[in-house]
Amino acid sequence: MKIIGVKIQQLHSIDLPLPGYMSEQAAGMDLYAAIDQPEMLLPGEIKAISTGISIEIPEGYEAQIRPRSGLALKKGISIPNAPGTIDSDYRGEIKVILINLGSEPFEIGRGDRIAQMIVAPVVQVRWIKSEDLTVTSRASGGFGHTGV
C-alpha cells in the first residue's frame, strides 16, 4: 500500500474529525457533514452538503467521492454523480452532492458521516487519430450483448 501526503485545511470543521479510514485496510475515508443546522433530505431531493475542508491533492492524483454503502442500503442515500471527482488543482471546499432515493425523509446532522473519499492515481491520454482500430472478438457488442 502506497501512502502519500495530502494537505488539508479545516475551514469550518475544526470540531470535526479529519477524514479517516474506519478499518486498517479500508480504501475510502469517511467524510463528515460540516453544517450549522440539520438538513432534511426529502425523497427524490438533491442537496450539496458541506464538509468544511479543502485539500491539496498532489499532481497525478484525484479524490473520488463515493456513497457510503450502509446509507445506500439502509436509507437509499447516494451520490448522483458518483463517483464525484476532486481534481488536483481544485482548492475550494469539498461538498458532497447527496440524493435521497429512499421513501422516507433523511436528516443529516453536523458530524454525520455522509460519503467516502478515495485518493487515486490518474492517467491523462494523448489522442492518436486512426482510421481503424484493432479487431477483437467482441467488436462493437455492448448494452447486454452477452445476455442479461
Residue pair 116/94 in contact (Cβ under 8 Å)? The answer is no
pLDDT at 48 over 80: yes
DSSP 8-state symbol, 19: S
- Record: fold of 7-121: Deoxyuridine 5'-Triphosphate Nucleotidohydrolase; Chain A (2.70.40)
Check residue 97 and give its pLDDT: 98
Quick one: 3 exposed, middle or buried, by C-beta within 10 A (0-12, 13-18, 19+)?
exposed
SS3 state of residue 71 = helix
Answering whether pTM is above 0.85, one says: yes
Check residue 140 and give its pLDDT: 83
pLDDT at 11 over 80: yes
Residue pair 75/106 in contact (Cβ under 8 Å)? The answer is yes
pLDDT at 38 over 80: yes
CA pair distance 59, 131, nearest whole angstrom: 33
CA pair distance 90, 54, nearest whole angstrom: 9
The model's pLDDT over 55-105, given as tens digits with 9 standing for 90+, comes to 999 999 999 999 999 999 999 999 999 999 999 999 999 999 999 999 999
For residue 110, how many other CB atoms are within 10 A of its CB?
17
pLDDT at 145 over 90: no
CA pair distance 8, 87, nearest whole angstrom: 14
The domain locations on the chain are 7-121
Cell 475550494 identifies what position? 92
CA pair distance 95, 49, nearest whole angstrom: 5
